[in-house]
Amino acid sequence: MSQNSAATFYDAVESASETVLLGNEDVLERLSVALLTDGHVLLEGVPGVAKTTIANVFARATGLESNRIQMTPDILPADITGTTIYRMQTGEFERREGPVFSNLVIADEINRATPKTQSALLEAMQEGSVSLDGETLALPSPFMVVATQNPIEMEGTFELPEAQRDRFQQKLIVDLPTEDVEHALLTRFDDDPQLSPSEVEQSVSEAELEAARNAVADTYVADRVKQYIIDIVHATRADDEIEFGASPRASLALLRASKARAAIHDREYVIPDDIKALAPAVFRHRLLLSTDAELSGRSTDDVIDTLLESISPPENVQPEASTPTT
């Protein structure tokens, strides 16, 4: 199985997504990283920056069966996981699976749901299964949650608990477009006002997705790179600007995500640049800043950038050439 199958996979997804998306290449790459490593993603951005559209386009391009859940304060856990109902006509119980039974679940405005409902996703995200009436049911594979949230409207919202934030491999910030990108966006939708994610065609097969996932699993990580990850994670736990540092789950998330990024960029091994590129997305929702850092106006990303600059990356991280046998 060729190592560049992950690169081929991403090129196809990116090409198909360009039909609708403009200026969101980094977000698309990070979503691909998560999909190839069984990760979940939290998308944050102000209203109107196409968070849900990005998730829908990604689902269409990858051919994943998707369900969108509009999270509201009155939605119940059973509305997500499903329930069992009694049919009087047959005298039997019928199981109705909820929208979580899908390859890609889009939890729109997740912070508008109550903590009890938010927690209904915990088992699904961590275990790949849910419990209905005492029975454990496996979810489809692959399984991925893409949740969106709006950072500026706090009224009527419920902040995600730390345990659930930690279940997300990455938190991605969807920024406002640049002037050039927005001009191109206006032109495209002026030419085709009905353009939508439904215009995006599936670009990869199930076999190609599986090949890409296998390529990621085979990506080499030198011991020096693993130590580099450990150095960064432990630095978050010792930094005076950080009240609570990254967990071991964050270490594993950074390792797996870095392997996927390397494979997407057509490399057979992870380099320090992979770690640096993904560290903000993996850490920003996991770190709790100290009061002094917050009063100084420091953002989590500022602290992460400073921390990365303070740690020297390793060299000679390529796999050693195998010695030919005689």
* CA–CA gap between residue 79 and residue 138 (Å, rounded): 17
Q: What is the pTM of this model?
A: 0.93
Task: Say what the pLDDT of residue 119 is.
Answer: 86
Instruction: Give residue 161's pLDDT band: very low, low, confident or very high (50, 70, 90).
Output: confident
Give the rounded percent of residues in the chain with a pLDDT score beyond 70: 97
Q: What is the average per-residue pLDDT within 239-264?
A: 96
Mean of pLDDT over the chain? 92
User: Is the pLDDT assigned to residue 326 strictly greater than 60?
Assistant: no
* Mean per-residue pLDDT, 234-247: 95
CB atoms within 10 A of CB 214: 15
Question: Is 269 buried (19+), middle (13-18) or exposed (0-12) by CB count in 10 A?
Answer: middle
Q: Is the pLDDT of residue 90 over 50?
A: yes
Confidence band, pLDDT 50/70/90 cuts, at residue 64 = very high
pLDDT number for residue 135: 85
Lowest-confidence segment of 120-129, 164-173, 201-210 by average pLDDT: 120-129
The pair of structure tokens assigned to 195 is 């353009």
DSSP line for 283-301: HTTT-EE-HHHHHTT--HH
pLDDT tens per residue across span 283-312? 999 999 999 999 999 999 999 999 999 999
Mean pLDDT score, 89-111: 90
Per DSSP, the three-state class of 241 is coil
Overall size of the chain counted in residues: 326
Res 4: pLDDT: 82
- Write out the two tokens for 287: 């770190």
Cα first-last separation, the chain: 26
Q: CA–CA separation, 284 vs 290, rounded Å? A: 14
Q: What is the mean pLDDT of residues 191-202?
A: 93
- Look at residues 255, 230, 233, 261 and name the one whose alpha carbon lies nearest to residue 246: 233
Contacts of 221 (CB under 8 A, 6+ apart): 255, 258, 259, 269, 270
**Average pLDDT of the segment spanning 193-216:** 95
> Which pLDDT value is given to residue 11?
96
The predicted model gives 92-116 an average pLDDT of: 92
pLDDT for 163 equals: 80
pLDDT number for residue 324: 45
pLDDT, residue 321, reads 64
Confidence category of residue 63, pLDDT binned at 50, 70, 90: very high
Confidence of residue 325 (pLDDT cuts 50, 70, 90): very low
Average pLDDT over residues 18-44: 96
- For residue 200, what are the contacts with CB-CB under 8 A and spacing of at least 6? 16, 17, 19, 20, 57, 60, 61
Confidence band, pLDDT 50/70/90 cuts, at residue 159: confident
User: How sure is the predictor about 191, in pLDDT bands with cuts at 50, 70 and 90?
Assistant: very high
